[in-house]
Amino acid sequence: MHVMIIGAAGMVGHKLTERLLADGQLGGAPLRALTLVDWVAPTAPAGFDGAVETIAADIATPGLAERLTEARADVIFVLAAIVSGEAEADFDKGYATNLDSTRALFDAIRLVPGYTPRVVFTSSIAVFGVPLPDKISDTHHLTPLTSYGTQKAIAELLLSDYSRRGFLDGIAIRLPTIVVRPGKANLAASSFFSGIIREPLNGQRAVLPVDESVRHWFASPRAAVGFLIHAATLDLTRMGDNRALSMPGLSATVAEQIAALGRIAGPEAVALIDKVPDPVVAKIVLGWPCDFDTARADALGFKAETSFDQIIQAYIEDDLS
């Protein structure tokens, strides 16, 4: 089993690499080779006696897709993307990175005779936009309100069409917001959802910019890696021709997040959260999906946390050291 991870240096890519090494196999086949791709060179994993290649390249580089197919990886995880804010600020860069490089990869695969790898593409709940129902069903239309969401939605359509035609064997999974992210806060509007848990658990103050009634859609990094592994090994004929679907997650309010923090780390942790309302962040967050009916993913065996306590516990076990 040869696995390629495009976007291996990111948080989820790194955790996926660790999980594959710990498992030593994927879908029952021994892990023999890893190709790790990112714009900064991913760290070659220690303690793996299979073949490892690390490739440092901008995925929008012309010709890179053809080079990547030369590895003939059995499974290709496509995690790399320009984030939402950057794709909005730089129109050309966003389309080149999130759409054109994805299509170039699919086309490079298509043009290798007899090569039909499993392609696991990470999409996003940003393919959905207001107006939204209380719970987003598996048949709700995609109405992205950002260029990033548009690029993800288009990649989903391409993936389904290329799969239907037998050029590759693809699945696109729409990840919930991933919390608790390890490391430092970033500039994303969603950063506080991790910060209000992570900072108090590390004895630091955290800022809450929205009302506690705000509801959102969550899964842990551990659950995200589980989705990717399951997507890589699932029999995709069970999906029919629509190869994109929303992953399960936990719909929780900020108040429920804080209550879980209190149960696990006590009132002194909760007391480290400073309520500093930010109308700009509050407005952005209100436009996001906050609950899903994921019957299709559930039936296919995808699993996420069912309480915020579990999400915090995953962070404590996997990242708090």
Is 32 or 103 the residue whose CB approaches a second copy more closely? 103
Active-site annotation holder among 95, 115, 148, 162: 148
The one among 16, 71, 142, 179 contacting a second copy by CB under 8 A: 142
Report in angstroms how near the CB of residue 110 gets to a second copy at its nearest: 8
Helix (H, G, I), strand (E, B) or coil at 235: coil
Question: By CB under 8 A, is residue 237 in contact with a second copy?
Answer: no
Q: Could you tell me if 60 and 48 are in contact, meaning their C-beta atoms sit under 8 angstroms apart?
A: no
d(CA 271, CA 255): 13
Is 147 or 257 the residue whose CB approaches a second copy more closely? 147
Query: What H or E segment, with its residue span, contains residue 93?
Result: helix 91-94
CA 59, 227, 55 angle in degrees (round to 5)? 25
Q: Which stretch binds a second copy (CB under 8 A): 3-11, 14-22, 150-158, 301-309?
A: 150-158
Site string for a second copy, 154-173 (x = CB under 8 A): x--xx-xx--xx--------
Question: By CB under 8 A, is residue 91 in contact with a second copy?
Answer: yes
d(CA 104, CA 80): 14
Q: Could you tell me if 243 and 236 are in contact, meaning their C-beta atoms sit under 8 angstroms apart?
A: yes
* Residue 68 CA to its chain's centroid (Å): 21
Q: What is the DSSP letter of 96?
A: I
Question: By CB under 8 A, is residue 299 in contact with a second copy?
Answer: no
Is 164 or 283 the residue whose CB approaches a second copy more closely? 164
Report in angstroms how near the CB of residue 112 gets to a second copy at its nearest: 15
d(CA 168, CA 178): 28
Q: What is the DSSP letter of 271?
A: T
Report in angstroms how near the CB of residue 140 gets to a second copy at its nearest: 6
d(CA 17, CA 22): 9
Question: By CB under 8 A, is residue 116 in contact with a second copy?
Answer: no
Q: Which amino acid is present at 67?
A: R
d(CA 49, CA 223): 27
Report in angstroms how near the CB of residue 84 gets to a second copy at its nearest: 13
Is 2 or 174 the residue whose CB approaches a second copy more closely? 174
Question: By CB under 8 A, is residue 141 in contact with a second copy?
Answer: yes
- 148 annotated active-site: yes
Residues of this chain that interact with a second copy (CB under 8 A) are: 91, 129, 133, 138-145, 147, 150, 153-154, 157-158, 160-161, 164-165, 241-242
The residues annotated as belonging to the active site are 148
